[in-house]
Amino acid sequence: MGTQYSLFFIQRFKGKVLFNVPMSDHTSFGIGGSADVMAFPQDDGDLKELLNFAESKRFKYYVLGGGSNVLVRDGGFRGIVMNMADGFGEITWIDDTRAVVGVGVKLSRLLNECLKRGLGGVEFVAGIPGTVGGAVIMNAGAYGFEMKNTVEGVEFVGRKGKRGFMPSAEIGFEYRKSDMPKGTVAVRVHMSFTKKDPEEMRELIESYRHRRKATSMVGYPNAGSIFMNPEGRIAGRLIDEAGLKGLRCGDAVVSEVHANYIINTGKATAHDVLSLMATIRDRVYRSKGVLLEPEIKIIGEV
């Protein structure tokens, strides 16, 4: 399919464009077939061109952040992967407590900026990989806090390059998801923080990092939590109580450290992971009466 894209990108696109890209190189799982095209938009204009082109040609597209919460099937992705990690990396401070943050900004960088300024609200992201955009779209959270608590609104580019702004109250944040309008791509997040003592922040950040290290340092490529926590329950505990730690399908294994992590111990395929997920759901449902729902995004062709 590469030839169908080449002329367009050479003429109009400022960012980098790659063809037949192994998605295993762009996900924390290290798994996935090739995408036909991976484009790295640098600004709103690039994104407008991408969306217009994809719509006019009826090509599928997927918006990728840090690739830390996605499983790409072994058949790859037939269409355009819009990788937001190279562009949209600016942080613009509006005043002492408010900023406009590009979706490509890494969570670690945002946390460091807030720490330097003595601004609390995102300490819980300590040790979480990925970008601000991905964290907001999935409403990432931990230790009783969620991204939605700091979001005032989101700037987006939509169909035909239309730009817009959606306030937080209209985004429809829920547990591990949001409800941005179909066909729109978030580009910047308006965020509000609270003044806080930097030393107190450091202690809290360190405690979060220690807790995450104790439960999440599984030693192999992974995509973080595989399943969402059912209401009032903890997915990892349900999986552990079902006796599934160490369960294997090919090179995909339920972590002995954190039961809600599936690790890639070598050359795991998406088929291995999906088969293991199906077994976990079945065993947990039969033993606990709870049907687990995936937290990771699953895309691509079988």
Residue-wise pLDDT tens digits, 175-210: 999 999 888 999 999 999 999 999 999 999 999 998
Is 61:79 a contact under the CB 8 Å cutoff? yes
What would the mean pLDDT of 97-113 be, rounded to a whole number? 97
Is the model's pLDDT at 225 over the cut of 60? yes
Q: Is 225 a catalytic residue?
A: yes
Q: 30 vs 42, 68, 200, 258, 288, CA distance in Å?
A: 25, 10, 36, 19, 31
Whether the predicted pLDDT of 226 surpasses 60: yes
Count CB atoms within 10 A of the CB of residue 293: 12
Kindly give, in sequence order, each residue whose CB lies less than 8 Å from that of residue 249, ignoring residues fewer than 6 positions away: 272, 273, 275, 276, 279
Whether the full predicted model's pTM is greater than 0.75, yes or no, is: yes
Active-site option among 49, 123, 155, 295: 295
CATH entry, 8-83, from 3.30.70.1380, 1.10.10.10, 3.30.43.10, 3.40.1030.10? 3.30.43.10
- State yes or no: is 295 an active-site residue: yes
Residue 127 has pLDDT above 70, yes or no: yes
Angle between helices 2-12 and 44-57 (to 10 degrees): 150
Each residue's pLDDT tens digit, 263-301: 999 999 999 999 999 999 999 999 999 999 999 999 999
Q: Which of 39-48, 50-59, 138-147, 223-232 has the lowest average pLDDT? A: 50-59
Q: Are strands 297-299 and 77-83 parallel, antiparallel or unpaired?
A: unpaired
Q: Write down the catalytic residue from 176, 211, 281, 283.
A: 176
* Confidence tier at 159 by pLDDT (50, 70, 90): confident
Largest CA distance in the chain: 58
pLDDT per residue as tens digits for the range 256-271: 999 999 999 999 999 9
For domain 219-299, give its CATH number from 2.130.10.10, 1.20.120.790, 3.90.78.10, 3.30.565.10.
3.90.78.10
The span from the CA of 294 to the CA of 83, in Å, is 23
Domain residue ranges in the chain: 8-83, 91-201, 219-299
Which neighbouring-strand residues pair with 91?
101
Q: Which fold has domain 91-201?
A: 3.30.465
Each residue's pLDDT tens digit, 54-87: 888 899 999 999 999 999 999 999 999 999 988 9
pLDDT of 6 strictly over 70: no
Instruction: Please give the helix or strand (H or E) that residue 271 lies within, else none.
Output: helix 270-288
Phi-psi region of 219 (alpha: psi -120 to 50; beta: other; left: phi over 0): left
**159 labelled catalytic:** no
Owner of token pair 């762009």: 26
Per DSSP, 279 falls in state H
